[in-house]
Amino acid sequence: MKVSVIGCGYLGAVHAACMAELGHEVVGIDVDEKKIELLAQGKSPFHEPDLPALLDKHTHSGRLRFSTDFADISDARVHFIGVGTPQLDDSGSADLSYVRSAVDSILPHVQSGRTIIVGKSTVPVGTAQSLEQQIVDAGGILIWNPEFLRESFAVEDTLRPDRLVYGLSDDETRARISVQVLDEVYSPIISAGTPRLVMNYATSELVKVSANSFLAVKISYINAMAEVCEATGADVKRLAEAIGMDDRIGRKFLRAGIGFGGGCLPKDIRAFKARTEELGLPSLNFLADIDAINERRRYRVVEMCEEELGDLTGKRLAILGAAFKPNSDDMRNSPALAISDELAARGAHIVITDPEAGPILAATTDRFEVAASAEEAMTGAEATLLLTEWKQFSSLDPSEVAALPAHRLIIDGRNVLDPKQWRAAGWTYRGMGRP
HSE value, Cβ hemisphere, 13 Å, CA-based, for 385: 35
Burial class (CB in 10 A: 0-12, 13-18, 19+), 167: buried
Catalytic residue among 8, 18, 229, 264: 264
Closer residue to ligand UGA (CB): 223 or 276: 223
Instruction: Report, in Å, the least distance between residue 305 CB and ligand UGA.
Output: 19
Phi, psi of 254 (to 5 degrees): -120, 35
> Distance between CA atoms of 43 and 66, rounded to whole angstroms?
11
> Distance between CA atoms of 56 and 59, rounded to whole angstroms?
6
CA angle 188, 192, 193 (to 5 degrees): 125
Amino acid identity of 220? S
CA angle 416, 390, 373 (to 5 degrees): 115
Interacting residue ranges for ligand UGA, rule: CB under 6 A? 122, 147-151, 212, 215, 219, 253-255, 257, 259-262, 264-265, 324-325
* H helices present in 72-143, as ranges: 97-106, 127-137
Instruction: Report, in Å, the least distance between residue 102 CB and ligand UGA.
Output: 17
Please enumerate in sequence order all residues whose Cβ is within 8 A of that of 433, keeping only pairs 6 or more positions apart, or say none.
Answer: 223, 225, 226, 227, 228, 229, 230, 234, 235, 236, 237, 256, 415
Closer residue to ligand UGA (CB): 289 or 311: 289
Closer residue to ligand UGA (CB): 141 or 154: 154
Output the CA torsion sign for 246, 247, 249, 251.
Answer: positive
Beta bridge partners of 430: 411
Is residue 190 a contact partner of residue 183, using CB atoms and an 8 Å limit?
yes
* H helices present in 90-186, as ranges: 97-106, 127-137, 154-159, 172-185
CA angle 338, 344, 349 (to 5 degrees): 130
Closer residue to ligand UGA (CB): 299 or 372: 299
Closer residue to ligand UGA (CB): 141 or 411: 411
- Give Cα separations from 45 to 4, 12, 82, 208 (angstroms): 19, 12, 16, 26
Instruction: Report, in Å, the least distance between residue 173 CB and ligand UGA.
Output: 31
Closer residue to ligand UGA (CB): 119 or 259: 259
Instruction: Report, in Å, the least distance between residue 428 CB and ligand UGA.
Output: 23
Active site residue 305: no
Closer residue to ligand UGA (CB): 109 or 255: 255
| 218 SS3 class | helix
Instruction: Report, in Å, the least distance between residue 280 CB and ligand UGA.
Output: 26
36's enclosing H/E stretch is helix 33-40
Residues catalogued as catalytic? 264
